[in-house]
Amino acid sequence: MNDDNTMAGISAITHLGPTPMDELQVRLYLDGISNGVLRVDHRGLINNATGSVVACMDRLPEPLRLLQHGDITDMAELESPYLPGIQCDAWIREMAESFGMISPFVPHQRKTNQQGEKILSYGLSSFGYDARIGPEFQICTNENPGILDPKADANFAWRSVKADTCILPPHGFALAHTVEYFKIPRDTLVVCLGKSTLARLGLIVNVTPLEPGWEGQVTIEISNTTPLPAKIYANEGICQFLFFRGSNCSVSYKDKGGKYQGQTGVTRARV
């Protein structure tokens, strides 16, 4: 936002009254401070050009008050009303709907299909997002001899399955992918946990962290720890993602050209 637009927005919401600020007002004030149009001193928020008070000190939210003492130097700390740490449903919804962090996005827990039948739930939860598994699987087999080597291609080891269900053999291992495409902000790290129902059947879901700046469909690793075959249902819930916010990182996954950036479908290990 340029200085003229910043001041036009600020003049329209000059805030001397008793009502609390809304998010739009705070964002406009942050733009003004970032652009040098505004400053904070003992009186409150000050217009640098005229010296007049734009918002009295007792009307400012706590983070803006701290600016008068220099306690906050990184403007990124003030750009969101949400505290650092694990993020709640409101933040996840805002980031998904406004910035495309999760697509497609379901803003509630969905527990039945269109026919009213029970399914493994997916969608937004209190402090996370339950993702769906897509209808594409790569099952690891021993049909061809060889060694799984992280430094070499292992095409010999996989059998592809595209179906609404997948039977994972006893002690078997498979790769799959999320229906959802994720775009992770550069101040956020995402970790994944399995769903309780699957864990109680011996199905262990493993996903390595989604790093700041990464985007793509998530490749999911599934292990059947039991001596019995296990059924996996495509387009139903498979795991829950938790979002942890901190400060903006200096180098994101995108910045360093990570080899899994922008992946779609099942992506096997790359050398």
Token duo for residue 169: 């053999």
- Kindly state the tokens that stand for 100: 């495309």
Closest residue by Cα to residue 65 from 45, 84, 85: 45
Mention every residue, 6+ apart, whose C-beta is less than 8 A from residue 133.
176, 177, 178, 179, 220, 232, 233, 234, 235, 236, 237, 238
254, with CB counted inside 10 A (0-12, 13-18, 19+), is middle
* Residue 15: partners with Cβ closer than 8 Å, 6 or more residues away: 21, 25, 45, 54, 55, 56, 59
Catalytic residues: 221
Helix runs in the chain, H state only: 3-12, 23-34, 62-66, 89-99, 196-199
DSSP letter, residue 247: S
